Amino acid sequence: MRQLRRFLPLLLLLVCSVALATTLSSDQRYCPVCGESIAVQLPMSTNDMGGQDRDLLQRAHGAQVFMEVVATCGQCGFTGWPADFSETKRSKRRGGSGEEADALALTKDQRQAIEGGALLRPEALSDVPFRAEAPYGDLPSWGRLDMLAQTVALRGGEQDRVADIYLQASWAVRMGYHPVHLRGADPSEAQRDWLFGRLAEFTEQATDLQMTNPADVEVWVAVRLLTGAEQAPGDLRCLSAAYGASLMRSHGEHDALLASFDVLGECFPAAEWPGKAQAIRESVALERRYQGLARDGFVAALEAGDLTGEKVAITTYLVGELERRMGEHDAALAHFDHALTLTVPDGLDPWIEQQRCLLGQDDPVLALLLCRGRASGGNGGVAPAGEP
Ligand SMILES: [Zn+2]
């Protein structure tokens, strides 16, 4: 039981993800462009119990606020945070006085551009039904964040601000893709007992390695499940691989996820696996698409000298990390190296070194085992890329 309690948070995330520690309240607002009525979500409370992924995603247990609070007008596509929407209905639905819109810092030109269809419904939405009466309705959170980036850009937002929204869109793909699809039927009681034992063992290892970031702990557990899958007896091999791959997907460690396909492919019926594999690849491609848009915006902001102070070092590191996640290791190495020449905030140095260590290695799962297996938080010099 003591063991069970130790890794209960991990299990909650793994098994059900229903720890609704984030609370939201619904409110009725009106679009500042076309006056359409729209329900928005106001954050009442949240938490950071899920730790932080290395591309700076701060993870909450339960709902993620950044995925919930952005709203899109189903009629015209205007997208914003709750404060961007009006609390009172405009007197005229279209072509009104514009006073409220002006108060919300929308110019007449911007309003007309949006009404003229300047905001584009995101690609890759074939699974979202198109309704002529609400062409921008029913978007998933990453689709609304895509629309938000377009809206903020149209309103003259700075490029690093737009890039930051595209980064959030990539996070929304990661958090919105339900990795439970990777797993097969519910495990039997004996299988579950075996899995719990492994999770306890690997969580304890992470503690011994001084990992205090819950996101790092989960990636470590994923690494151990995948590297241990080969040795797992019988049907436990697939259980180990599927849970490890699910965790890799939920943390956006795509190279390691895709490397697990050899084992996973043998774990599903021949008629089932190609469809699953394709769905996973598409979700990875979508996350990488938004990482690419974020990277481009951050690079442009850095080159334009728009950023100052610690933001320069943090953004330089982040660009490298996005490139690593997109498989562009040479570019990532250049940005990590550059970041190491800058004044970085406390805690970022070990991250840069560990992420740099991951580059250029043949096996992405073993790379995580090697580079994260060193005690976290230390500052023991820069590991050359590819160092064994
Ligand atoms: Zn509207």
pLDDT in tens, 77-105: 999 999 999 888 764 444 444 444 444 67
Please give the model's pTM, rounded to 2 decimal places: 0.88
Is 110 inside any structural domain? yes
Torsion region of 252: left, alpha or beta (phi above 0 gives left; psi -120 to 50 gives alpha): left
Please give the backbone phi and psi of residue 373, each rounded to the nearest 5 degrees, phi first.
Answer: -75, -15
**For residue 78, how far is its CA from the centre of ligand 1 (angstroms)?**
5
Range of the domain at 63: 22-164
Q: Which amino acid is at 210?
A: Q
Low-confidence residues of the chain: pLDDT under 70: 1-20, 90-104, 178-181, 183-184, 375-388
Is 343 inside any structural domain? no
Question: Is residue 125 within 8 Å of residue 67, measured between CB atoms?
Answer: no
**For residue 33, how far is its CA from the centre of ligand 1 (angstroms)?**
5
Q: What is the pLDDT of residue 93?
A: 43
**For residue 37, how far is its CA from the centre of ligand 1 (angstroms)?**
8
Tokens of 200: 């306890």
Q: What is the pLDDT of residue 344?
A: 86
Q: What is the pLDDT of residue 8?
A: 44
Domain count, the chain: 1
**For residue 91, how far is its CA from the centre of ligand 1 (angstroms)?**
14
**For residue 72, how far is its CA from the centre of ligand 1 (angstroms)?**
8
**For residue 247, how far is its CA from the centre of ligand 1 (angstroms)?**
38
Is 96 inside any structural domain? yes
> 326: Cβ–Cβ under 8 A, 6 or more apart, which residues?
288, 291, 292, 295
**For residue 94, how far is its CA from the centre of ligand 1 (angstroms)?**
10
**For residue 117, how far is its CA from the centre of ligand 1 (angstroms)?**
11
**For residue 183, how far is its CA from the centre of ligand 1 (angstroms)?**
40
Q: What is the pLDDT of residue 67?
A: 92
**For residue 123, how far is its CA from the centre of ligand 1 (angstroms)?**
20
**For residue 136, how far is its CA from the centre of ligand 1 (angstroms)?**
9
Question: Is residue 106 within 8 Å of residue 32, measured between CB atoms?
Answer: yes
Is 74 inside any structural domain? yes
Is 66 inside any structural domain? yes
Percentage of the chain modeled with pLDDT above 90: 64
How far apart are alpha carbons 241 and 144 in whole angstroms?
33
**For residue 129, how far is its CA from the centre of ligand 1 (angstroms)?**
19
**For residue 85, how far is its CA from the centre of ligand 1 (angstroms)?**
10
**For residue 162, how far is its CA from the centre of ligand 1 (angstroms)?**
20
Is 323 inside any structural domain? no
Is 262 inside any structural domain? no
**For residue 111, how far is its CA from the centre of ligand 1 (angstroms)?**
9
Q: What is the pLDDT of residue 90?
A: 63
Is 85 inside any structural domain? yes
**For residue 75, how far is its CA from the centre of ligand 1 (angstroms)?**
5
**For residue 173, how far is its CA from the centre of ligand 1 (angstroms)?**
25
Question: Is residue 368 within 8 Å of residue 253, measured between CB atoms?
Answer: yes
